[in-house]
């Protein structure tokens, strides 16, 4: 298995190499483990990164992350389990013009600029941060007070309808 940190980009992509394993959120960068929506930094994710060359002869990384993480429910602020399964392909471009042209194309892939060495751990962290939902929440928070408050409130549209029919 290769090191998850710096790799030789050309050797990895041209050799169609693969790196995979498990990593806890606490082992990742602070921008991950201190994320406001993560409830447990000891959760682990699985990652798999494949290198390759696409049909246009562009080097790429296929990045797959999966696992179950505890996030903070945005309704009740208690932990909620969330299953992550994110797959993406990141294409490497030689210069910004090629990257910009690809990004404006209809079927544009994710893209970054070519670097002789790339930190794969950073790619995993980036994909993880993009895979976290904007507002995680339980389907039902089992909060009796919240349920009662929602039931007690009259529907404002029903009140408007009553005003309209009164004319």
Across the beta sheet with 110-113, what order do the strands follow? 18-24, 44-53, 59-72, 79-93, 110-113
Structure confidence by residue, pLDDT tens digits, 25-64: 999 988 888 888 888 889 999 999 999 999 989 999 999 9
Which is more confidently placed, 53 or 163? 53
In this prediction the pTM is 0.76
DSSP 105-155: STTPPEEEE--SEEEHHHHHHHHHHHHS-SS---S----HHHHHHHHHSPP
DSSP H or E stretch at residue 7: strand 6-8
Q: Reduced to 3 states, what is the DSSP secondary structure of residue 1?
A: coil
Q: Which residues contact 89 (CB under 8 A, 6 or more apart)?
A: 60, 61, 62, 63, 109, 110
**b/e per residue, 112-131, with b = 16+ CB within 10 A?**
eebeeebebbebbbbbbeeb
Q: What pLDDT, in 10s, does the model give residues 78-121?
A: 999 999 999 999 999 988 888 888 877 756 678 899 999 999 99
């Amino acid at each position: 298995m290769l090191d998850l940190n710096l790799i030789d980009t050309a050797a990895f992509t041209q050799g169609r190499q693969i790196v995979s394993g498990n990593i806890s959120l606490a082992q990742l960068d602070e921008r991950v483990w201190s994320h406001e929506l993560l409830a447990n930094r000891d959760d682990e994710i699985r990652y798999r990164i494949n290198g390759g060359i696409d049909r246009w002869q562009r080097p790429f990384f296929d990045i797959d992350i999966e696992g179950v993480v505890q996030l903070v429910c945005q309704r009740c602020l208690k932990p909620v389990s969330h299953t992550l399964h994110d797959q993406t392909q990141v294409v490497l471009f030689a210069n910004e013009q090629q990257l910009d042209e690809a990004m404006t194309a209809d079927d544009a892939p994710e893209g970054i600029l070519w670097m002789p060495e790339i930190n794969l751990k950073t790619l995993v962290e980036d994909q993880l941060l993009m895979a976290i939902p904007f507002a995680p929440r339980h389907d039902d928070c089992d909060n009796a007070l919240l349920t009662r408050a929602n039931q007690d409130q009259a529907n404002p549209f029903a009140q408007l309808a009553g005003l309209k029919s009164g004319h």
